[in-house]
């Protein structure tokens, strides 16, 4: 049996290799980031371990031995799960290794923007100590509203953490019963209401055709003047050109962006030219602990499937 890890990025430690003991499988690492590369180099794979590689129907039709795909993380937008199911390929993922990290990162962006840390940092470095007024407009959390779009695992934990700082929390999630949102201490609202009320609009939703550009030029216009946009979920949820324009016009005060439509973003991405925007390299999930956990869970599940056992985190064939 052959397992190919194709992301070319994540390192593997002895604690992960331990899951393959006794399996008698060959483990190979190759960087195969395109459909063509996967088809050319992974034809004989029984298992793939992937990060963001395109697992399409075309790739699946060529990888005839494939039995299982383990995805390092929760997002499945790079995998055609329906095509995997049709091909009899088990997909596994890791939905729960970095909820703490992503919610903390969202809060870090919110608080940094709220406290104008970038502005103050730059003033002090330029030798301006009496720069208090640069923070004009800074407001207490207890006087501000955090609007969460998506109230799943990460949305809920972001709400719990933000509540401790005093923010009023409102949430829009049409697939979550309103009682569940209320029970978690947030007010369930429509998207329109959220956009009109929130000082911070934070996205915690998957990338789907329905959520594409949910923060569009029109949505930005409906937002409060001086509000902020936070995206630690997926690129494609925010119309980046429209957001940059809304910030330049002064309607939106700034943004915290961890995920971009194109990653890495091109140097001429308009958001990168704006001081009011804090960016990070799709790193919201990262901590020493989450990084180890996500790899171990993929190795454990891929090994389980190759042994003929049920994986702990199946995406398809759940029965
Ligand atoms: N930046 C990172 O490093 C990183 C790491 C992990 C996860 N993520 C992202 O965070 C997102 C949220 O993760 P999670 O674990 O909370 O997922 P989850 O599945 O628990 O929650 C997603 C929520 O979004 C809701 N939703 C779906 N479509 C919606 C819509 N159109 N409008 C409003 N709500 C909608 C669902 O009902 C669900 O409650 C993931 O989809 C992933 O894209 C990013």
Residue 143 main-chain phi, psi, to 5 deg: -105, 10
Distance 313 CA to ligand 1 centre (A): 17
64 among known catalytic residues: no
Distance 154 CA to ligand 1 centre (A): 7
Whole-prediction pTM value?
0.89
Residue 52 main-chain phi, psi, to 5 deg: -130, 15
- Contact predicate 149/203, CB 8 Å: yes
pLDDT score of 10? 93
Q: What is the mean pLDDT of residues 194-212?
A: 97
Location of each CATH 3.40.50.720 domain in the chain: 2-97+288-306, 99-279
What is the third-level CATH fold of 2-97+288-306? Rossmann fold (3.40.50)
Ligand 1 first shell, C-beta below 6 A: 73-75, 95, 98-99, 102, 149-155, 172-176, 204-206, 210-211, 232-234, 258-259, 282, 284-285
pLDDT score of 190? 98
* pLDDT at residue 308 tops 90: yes
Q: What is the mean pLDDT of residues 171-177?
A: 98
Among 71, 204, 234, 285, which one carries the catalytic annotation?
234
- Contact predicate 27/3, CB 8 Å: yes
Strands ordered across the beta sheet of 200-203 = 187-188, 168-172, 145-149, 200-203, 227-231, 252-257, 277-279
pLDDT score of 290? 96
pLDDT score of 275? 96
234 among known catalytic residues: yes
- Cross-strand bridge partners of residue 26: 2
Distance 236 CA to ligand 1 centre (A): 13
pLDDT digits over 98-135, tens only?
Answer: 999 999 999 999 999 999 999 999 999 999 999 999 99
pLDDT score of 76? 93
Best residue among 72, 77, 100, 152 to mutate for probing ligand 1, ranked by most atoms within 8 Å of CB: 152
By CB neighbour count within 10 A (0-12 exposed, 13-18 middle, 19+ buried), where does 170 fall?
buried
User: Hey, what CATH class is 99-279 in?
Assistant: alpha beta
pLDDT score of 319? 82
Distance 120 CA to ligand 1 centre (A): 32
pLDDT digits over 176-199, tens only?
Answer: 999 999 999 999 999 999 999 999
Read out DSSP for 5-67? E--S-----HHHHGGGTTS--EEEE----SHHHHHHH-TT-SEEEESS--B-HHHHHH-TT--
* Whole-number average pLDDT of the chain: 97
**Residue 54 C-beta-side C-alpha neighbours within 13 Å:** 10
**Residue 40 C-beta-side C-alpha neighbours within 13 Å:** 8
pLDDT score of 75? 86
- Contact predicate 252/246, CB 8 Å: yes
**Closest atom of ligand 1 relative to the 211 alpha carbon:** 31
Question: How large a percentage of the chain has pLDDT more than 70?
Answer: 100
pLDDT digits over 52-94, tens only?
Answer: 999 999 999 999 999 999 999 988 999 999 999 999 999 999 9
Element housing 170 (H / E): strand 168-172
Distance 1 CA to ligand 1 centre (A): 34
Best residue among 150, 172, 174, 261 to mutate for probing ligand 1, ranked by most atoms within 8 Å of CB: 150
pLDDT score of 9? 93
Among 115, 263, 307, 309, which one carries the catalytic annotation?
263
- For residue 289, what are its two tokens? 């602990």
Strands ordered across the beta sheet of 26-29 = 26-29, 2-5, 47-50, 68-71, 90-92
* Chain centre distance of CA 273: 23
204 among known catalytic residues: no
pLDDT score of 244? 98
Q: What is the mean pLDDT of residues 265-271?
A: 98
């Amino acid at each position: 049996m052959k397992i190919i890890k194709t992301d070319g990025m994540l390192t593997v430690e002895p604690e992960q290799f331990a899951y393959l003991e006794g399996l008698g499988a060959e483990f190979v690492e190759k960087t195969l980031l395109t459909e063509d590369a996967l088809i050319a180099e992974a034809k004989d794979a029984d298992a793939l371990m992937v990060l963001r590689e395109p697992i399409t129907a075309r790739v699946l039709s060529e990888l005839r031995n494939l039995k299982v795909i383990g995805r390092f993380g929760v997002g499945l937008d790079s995998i055609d799960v329906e095509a995997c199911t049709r091909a009899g390929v088990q997909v596994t993922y890791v939905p729960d290794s970095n909820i703490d990290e992503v919610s903390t990162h969202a809060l870090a962006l919110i608080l940094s923007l709220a406290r104008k840390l970038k502005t103050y940092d730059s003033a002090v470095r330029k030798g301006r100590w009496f720069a208090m007024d640069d923070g004009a407009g800074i407001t207490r959390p207890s006087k501000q509203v955090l609007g969460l779009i998506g109230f799943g695992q990460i949305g809920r934990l972001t709400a719990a953490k933000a509540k401790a700082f005093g923010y009023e929390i409102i949430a829009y999630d049409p697939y979550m019963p309103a009682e569940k949102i209320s029970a978690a201490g947030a007010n369930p609202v429509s998207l329109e209401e959220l956009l009109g009320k929130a000082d911070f609009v934070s996205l915690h939703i998957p990338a789907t055709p329905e959520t594409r550009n949910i923060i569009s030029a029109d949505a930005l216009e409906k937002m409060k003047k001086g509000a902020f946009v936070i995206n630690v979920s997926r690129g494609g949820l925010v119309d980046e050109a429209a957001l940059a324009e809304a910030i330049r016009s002064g309607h939106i005060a700034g943004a915290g962006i961890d995920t971009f439509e194109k990653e890495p973003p091109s140097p001429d991405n308009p958001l990168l030219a704006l001081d009011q925007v804090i960016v990070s390299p799709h790193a919201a999930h990262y901590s020493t602990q989450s990084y180890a956990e996500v790899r171990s869970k993929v190795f454990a599940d891929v090994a389980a499937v190759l042994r003929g056992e049920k994986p702990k985190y199946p995406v398809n064939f759940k029965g």
